[in-house]
Structure 1
Amino acid sequence: MPSIQVMSHRTPPSLQYLAIQSLLSNQALAIAALEDLPVLLFPSLFVEVYARAHTEMLKALVQAWPFSCLPLGDLAESPDLETFKAVLDGLDLLLAKKERPSRWKLQVLDLRNEHPNIWIQGYPSMAQISYPDVLTDRPTESCGSMMTEEQPLILLMDLTIKHGTQDALQAYLLQWARERGERVQLCSRKLLILSGSISEIQKALRVVRLDSIQELKVNKFWHRETMKKVVPYLSQMKNLRILQFSRKRLTVTCRHKNFSYSYKYAVHLGQLYHLQELYVHDIFFLYGRLPTILRNLTLLKTLSLSSCPLKEADLWFLSQCPCSRQLNDLRLRSLPLDNFSPEPLRALLEHEAGTLETLALEDCAITDPQLLCMLPALSQCSHLSFFSFYGNHISISVLQSLLSHTARLSCLRQGIYPAPLECYPHHERWVGDFEPERFAQVQAQLEQSMRDMGTTQKVQICIDFCHHHKYWTFYTLGSDGYWVVTVKNHPGLSALPL
């Protein structure tokens, strides 16, 4: 039999693709034709030129760019530095010109991944990108949305300040923006500080427009001098929405200096009027300073305090301040409260009852009498969906009472509870002293209690935990009626990162 030849049916190239390839075959001609090039061809042409690293053509394209925003973040995750320099060179030539191209509208160079697949979608999506919501005071647009000589070019990039060699692209961009002064404004919605170097931190903060920062995460041991020089920048971050402040331990034991510096730090934190989420972990300067910090934070929705020394007066203020009536998420972790009155926590839960969705009172050494005082208020938290109470010192009878109260919360999906004191020698809880044989004796009581309550929540009994290595050991009652032991990396309160 004669062989059968199968013809390959390929999709013929589009006219737009052929036009772009024709342009790129003669770069000099293409550059000369940019003023007359249809606007809808610009995105596809830019992608092709960027991929081929045609630097001269790239410079010319930037100068003729007909849209208000050039979103480079989604074009390449790790752009070639030389190719990126060509983009900035094109901007340099443009900023130096007294007369700019007639249809040039570029106001923003966006280096974040805020517009997924924008280059695939092409012209229609590119034309619809609105001015990014990073500044309260936006530049004034002139006729035809053209950039005036007085109006700076906005650069958007999320920054990470870390120890050692900085990312090459970020380092070059910081230097480029620094040298251009008022003609360019570098804006960063998210800023992550992983360095303890004062010079590196200040070098970046002096370039970035501070009121553009909406999310700040600081996670580094700092000396007191670093704190003193960096914290004043906080009050200039007037649009900050999320603040995560971690690992700022006391390095000098002088009581007078500690008191003085703590007050100054608290004053700067208290000026963040738009703050909605506040996470502080391992911070020495909160002791007695919560009123100064929280008094003006009327928009706060999330509060996480972990391993921070507090006064009982701090909890009283928290229970009475305006933000306590609108909190959605609250975590208090590793705060010894066994010598505190239960009244401020009870009052706090009463005020939050209508809004609280996630609650963690973890490793706070809360005792039977304290918990019994708080239970009526806890049972009023009708919107609670997650509750974590591990690491506290309660008996089996009080644990059963706690389970009966949380069983009435119809929205509660998961609860993490401590193993009762009866599971430890002499009924005194110490990490590592848990005895499985003793727990076996209380399992039947817990199972019967949960059957009687008809609870639908996932109940987990935490028997061991280590915050430093981030592991938790649980007994979980499965649907088959058997207890299963698991060790996992569990954050405790999934909505809160600390």
Structure 2
Amino acid sequence: MKMSDRTPPSLQYLAMQSLLSNQALAISALEDLPVLLFPSLFVEVYARAHTEMLKALVQAWPFSCLPLGDLAESPDLETLSAVLDGLHLLLAKKERPSQWKLQVLNLRNEHPNIWIEGYPSMARVAYPDVLTDKPTESCRLMMTEEQPLILLMDLTIKDGAQDVLQARLLQWARERQERVQQCSRKLLILSDSISEIQKALRVVRLDSIQELKVNKFWHRETLKKVVPYLSQMKNLRILQFSRMRVNVTCRYKNFSYSCKYAVHLGQLQHLQELYVHKVFFLYGQLPTILRNLTLLKTLSLSSCPLNEADLWFLSQCPCSRQLKHLRLRSLPLDNFSPEPLRALLEHGASTLETLAQEDCAIMDPQLLCMLPALSQCSHLSFFSFYGNHISISVLQSLLSHTARLSCLRQGIYPAPLECYPHHERWVGNFEPERFAHVQAQLEQSLRDMGTTQKVQICIGFCHHYKYWTFYTLGPDGYWVISIENLPRLSALPL
């Protein structure tokens, strides 16, 4: 007799199929259903789109969290509406059923295998870490009808047509704010509409936001209205702020507003990563912003006006001794003293893993002053120095110092001034024929140093279109030219 390769259905599966053949019977049997069957039953009901059964399952859910975001890539509107309707019926009751344990409806995708693993994993899901003020175990045992239900979902605010599921969820939470709390770990703002921004921020529990990204041209008045919300995001870990228009005719107001913005930013005491690009309000305000950011590990300042006092404070503030990733990009430092840059490297020498000083117009005397401090950055694994104005002799000196860094895997350097007409970086374009004359010198220097880092010579870049052009010295001794996308600081090869 030939045995079949097919695995026979389990008794549990057969029982579940029998139960689902009669929805009315299945709903009435939920109170007596073993807890371990709930996850597999929910998956089956979800797949069949049995909306009435979904409502009943939500009301009888025996776990503290319903990870709906992990059930599918994105729940459809009909499924989400059925779940919300079930929750509405439950929240509308004067007293919650004693067996109801659901505290969190999670629409984030953060437990990808939980529905496959079923009951054991579902029972272990803890209270979400979006809030620092979590209920104690004794509080959980004494849950009352006043305990709010948490809806956990990342939000994107954008212009034009809004995400239908997100809009439905926000509206549902807005109508039940006394019994429902909308929480979001990540908030992405791609709009300059203050009404749309405020509509969302008035619903979301602001201390649940851990990552905020603003990538939209804002006017000064827009930020003025949003800043009070920002200071309430007391658990913010990551802040990315890009593009803020300045009113060139109102310098006094610009200064006044900058002071106010800086005070609010300085209150974000849990901030660990700060990325600021093309904003006017940093000038003279870094001390106010950084003074209390004692947990900061990543700092990226790009195309922002700074004065020398800002740079001095950055080099001396407590966070400079613990920074792991630092990027200064498109900051004109040619008229600044090299001393704050040197001090900044000295203070960060024991912690820095990524260092980018890009397109800052740094010249030979400044770099020579910084080189001894740079050679002390023993944990550095990525170094980017493209776009600066140095000669071939100073470039060779720079390479000799970075060659001593045993952890350094990649270094990006500027083409020396000798590759440009009149030996001036800002006059004319890069000339390959001139580079051919310095190639031999660079190759010999690299051979003598025995460096293991990947050396790239940048000959052109465009921050607007986010690309760069560079020569890379291959293991065969030949230079290869290529064009690639500029990496974000968070995407650098650490």
SS of 2:258's equivalent? helix
Coordinate RMSD, CA, aligned: 1.6
Pairing 1:335–2:331 present: yes
What does residue 424 of structure 2 align with? 428
What does residue 296 of structure 2 align with? 300
What does residue 52 of structure 1 align with? 48
Deviation at 1:42, TM superposition (A): 0.2
| Contact 2:96 2:144 (8 Å CA) reproduced | no
Distance in 1 (CA, whole Å) between partners of 2:488 and 2:237 is 23
SS of 2:264's equivalent? helix
Pairing 1:149–2:145 present: yes
Show CA shifts across 1:247-304 (max 9, x none). 1121352111001001111111000000000000001110111001000000000000
What does residue 26 of structure 1 align with? 22
Specify which of 419, 436, 452 is matched with residue 415 of structure 2: 419
| Contact 2:242 2:276 (8 Å CA) reproduced | yes
What does residue 181 of structure 2 align with? 185
Pairing 1:480–2:450 present: no
Deviation at 1:53, TM superposition (A): 1.3
Specify which of 356, 366, 384 is matched with residue 388 of structure 1: 384
Report the CA distance shift for 1:235/1:431 in structure 2 as closer, same or farther (over 3 A): farther
Deviation at 1:432, TM superposition (A): 6.2
Deviation at 1:141, TM superposition (A): 5.3
| Contact 2:300 2:489 (8 Å CA) reproduced | no
Distance in 2 (CA, whole Å) between partners of 1:11 and 1:143 is 46
Distance in 1 (CA, whole Å) between partners of 2:176 and 2:460 is 55
Distance in 1 (CA, whole Å) between partners of 2:453 and 2:239 is 31
| Contact 1:382 1:410 (8 Å CA) reproduced | yes
Mapping 1:236-247, distance limit 5 Å: 236-247=232-243
Pairing 1:369–2:384 present: no
Distance in 2 (CA, whole Å) between partners of 1:141 and 1:93 is 27
Pairing 1:80–2:76 present: yes
Specify which of 398, 401, 408 is matched with residue 402 of structure 1: 398
SS of 1:438's equivalent? helix
Distance in 1 (CA, whole Å) between partners of 2:372 and 2:131 is 45
Distance in 1 (CA, whole Å) between partners of 2:57 and 2:196 is 34
Deviation at 1:144, TM superposition (A): 7.0
SS of 1:486's equivalent? strand
Runs (4+) of structure 1 moved beyond 3 Å?
Answer: 5-9, 139-147, 492-497
Specify which of 340, 343, 357 is matched with residue 344 of structure 1: 340
Deviation at 1:100, TM superposition (A): 2.8
Report the CA distance shift for 1:112/1:432 in structure 2 as closer, same or farther (over 3 A): farther
What does residue 265 of structure 1 align with? 261
SS of 2:458's equivalent? strand
Moved more, 102-111 or 381-390: 102-111
Deviation at 1:8, TM superposition (A): 5.4
Q: TM-score, normalised by structure 1?
A: 0.97
Unmatched 5+ stretches in structure 2: none
Distance in 2 (CA, whole Å) between partners of 1:78 and 1:354 is 44
Deviation at 1:185, TM superposition (A): 0.5
Distance in 1 (CA, whole Å) between partners of 2:447 and 2:57 is 70
Deviation at 1:148, TM superposition (A): 1.2
Deviation at 1:125, TM superposition (A): 0.7
Moved more, 406-415 or 430-439: 430-439
| Contact 1:388 1:493 (8 Å CA) reproduced | no
Deviation at 1:6, TM superposition (A): 8.2
AA paired with 2:163?
A: D
AA paired with 1:366?
A: I
Pairing 1:360–2:356 present: yes
> Percent sequence identity over matched residues?
89
SS of 1:180's equivalent? coil
Distance in 2 (CA, whole Å) between partners of 1:144 and 1:183 is 16
| Contact 1:103 1:146 (8 Å CA) reproduced | no
Specify which of 60, 65, 73 is matched with residue 64 of structure 1: 60
Deviation at 1:74, TM superposition (A): 1.0
Distance in 2 (CA, whole Å) between partners of 1:388 and 1:136 is 37
Specify which of 91, 103, 106 is matched with residue 102 of structure 2: 106
Unmatched 5+ stretches in structure 1: none
Show CA shifts across 1:58-112 (max 9, x none). 1110110000000001111122201111101111111122333332211111000
Q: TM-score, normalised by structure 2?
A: 0.97
